[in-house]
């Protein structure tokens, strides 16, 4: 029986990110992706212009109808949330589905900067969401925000420091933590920590200094699908990291707008074979 996953993300018509990444990837991994939109955009926000439809006012009704239909989810997977109200709605949804395995991508910032629409109060809200998750996937900037470290010091962090940060985040609640996008000595690392076994897992690939939209969404979507299919954290991190690295390198051969993301569609069959 396919695992049913509620994917709580925005939907961008152009730009391979959020739901336009999660739906095909989770489907390729033989799970049922049930979209729970937070906003609808003509194109993702990295583009110089986009239309934006905020879905906040419809989210409670959306989830209430699912409750009335007695629809239950094996997994809940949340990504970018644009307001405190949305975080509260998602927390309530998780509480209603208290048997679901919860994966939270705590989107707050990147590359040493908090996103402009966020403030400290919003970060505290996201932290409350992380507390009720089973697995969370902050990038290194977000890991600093979750552990109250200065994001200006990212370049000084050692691998040991980051492992300790993962352990500290796990003490908030989640059993599994993956800190992504750690650039050190010309390599990009993803560092995972399993609180139950007290084991760490690290992937490392040569960094090509290229940044594309949606790679974090693709990474976490693969993690979600593999965990849903019974694979362990180490397997999930290795496969997700390799897939993203491979597709980034392939996409870099073409003259494309990096806002349009990476060409994962060519490689979906590899996920289906996992």
Structural domain includes residue 51: yes
pLDDT tens digit string along 111-125? 999 999 899 999 999
Under the banding of pLDDT at 50, 70 and 90, the label for residue 94 is very high
Alpha helices, DSSP H, located in 39-81: 56-68
Question: Which pLDDT does position 222 carry in this prediction?
Answer: 99
Classify strands 75-78 and 52-54 as parallel, antiparallel or unpaired: unpaired
User: Whole-angstrom Cα distance, residue 209 to residue 229?
Assistant: 33
- Assess whether pLDDT exceeds 90 at residue 27: yes
pLDDT tens digit string along 182-192? 999 999 999 99
Residue of 179, 224, 177 lying closest to 199 (CA atoms): 177
Question: Which pLDDT does position 22 carry in this prediction?
Answer: 99
Please report the beta strands in the chain, taking only residues with DSSP state E, as ranges in sequence order.
4-12, 32-41, 52-54, 75-78, 101-104, 109-110, 113-114, 135-136, 176-184, 187-194, 199-206
Please count the structural domains in the chain.
1
Structural domain includes residue 174: yes
Structural domain includes residue 271: no
Q: Which residues pair with 23 in a beta bridge?
A: none
Question: Which pLDDT does position 253 carry in this prediction?
Answer: 98
Tokens representing residue 84 in the block: 């405190």
pLDDT tens digit string along 158-210? 999 999 999 999 999 999 999 999 999 999 999 999 999 999 999 999 999 99
Structural domain includes residue 256: yes
For residue 210, give its domain range: 4-264
CATH of the domain at 131: 3.40.1190.20
Structural domain includes residue 143: yes
Tokens representing residue 80 in the block: 């970018």
**Mean pLDDT of all residues in 76-105:** 98
Structural domain includes residue 29: yes
- Assess whether pLDDT exceeds 90 at residue 153: no
Alpha helices, DSSP H, located in 171-214: none
**Mean pLDDT of all residues in 214-225:** 98
Q: What is the DSSP letter of 255?
A: -
Which residue is it, tokens 């600093």? 144
Structural domain includes residue 272: no
For the chain, the residue count is 274
User: Whole-angstrom Cα distance, residue 270 to residue 263?
Assistant: 13
Q: What is the DSSP letter of 25?
A: H
Rg of the chain on CA atoms, in Å: 17
Which residue is it, tokens 């500290």? 168
pLDDT tens digit string along 36-89? 999 999 999 999 999 999 999 999 999 999 999 999 999 999 999 999 999 999
pLDDT tens digit string along 251-270? 999 999 999 999 999 999 99
For residues 236 and 228, the answer to whether their CB atoms sit within 8 Å is no
Question: Which pLDDT does position 141 carry in this prediction?
Answer: 97
Structural domain includes residue 101: yes
Axis crossing angle, helix 215-228 with helix 18-28, rounded to the nearest 10: 30
Residue of 268, 233, 190 lying closest to 101 (CA atoms): 233
């Amino acid at each position: 029986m396919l695992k049913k996953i509620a994917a709580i993300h925005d939907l961008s018509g152009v730009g391979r990110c959020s739901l336009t990444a999660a739906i095909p990837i989770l489907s390729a991994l033989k799970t049922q992706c049930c979209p729970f939109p937070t906003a609808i955009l003509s194109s993702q926000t990295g583009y110089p212009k986009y239309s934006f439809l905020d879905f906040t006012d419809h989210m409670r009704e959306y989830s209430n109808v699912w409750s009335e239909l007695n629809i239950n989810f094996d997994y809940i997977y949340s990504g970018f949330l644009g307001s405190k109200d949305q975080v509260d709605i998602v927390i309530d949804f998780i509480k209603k589905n208290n048997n679901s395995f919860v994966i939270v991508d705590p989107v707050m910032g990147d590359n040493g900067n908090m996103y402009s629409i966020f403030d400290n109060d919003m970060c505290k809200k996201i932290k409350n969401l992380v507390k009720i998750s089973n697995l969370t996937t902050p990038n290194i900037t977000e890991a600093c925000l979750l552990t109250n470290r200065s994001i200006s010091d990212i370049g000084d962090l050692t691998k040991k420091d980051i492992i300790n940060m993962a352990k500290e985040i796990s003490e908030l609640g989640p059993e599994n933590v993956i800190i992504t996008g750690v650039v050190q000595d010309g390599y990009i690392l993803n560092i995972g920590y399993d609180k139950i076994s007290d084991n760490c897992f690290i992937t490392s690939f040569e960094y090509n200094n290229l940044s594309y939209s949606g790679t974090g969404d693709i990474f976490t979507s693969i993690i979600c699908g593999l965990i849903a299919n019974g694979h362990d954290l180490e397997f999930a991190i290795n496969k997700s990291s390799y897939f993203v690295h491979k597709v980034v390198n392939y996409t870099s051969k073409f003259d494309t707008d990096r806002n349009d993301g990476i060409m994962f569609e060519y490689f979906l069959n590899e996920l289906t074979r996992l």
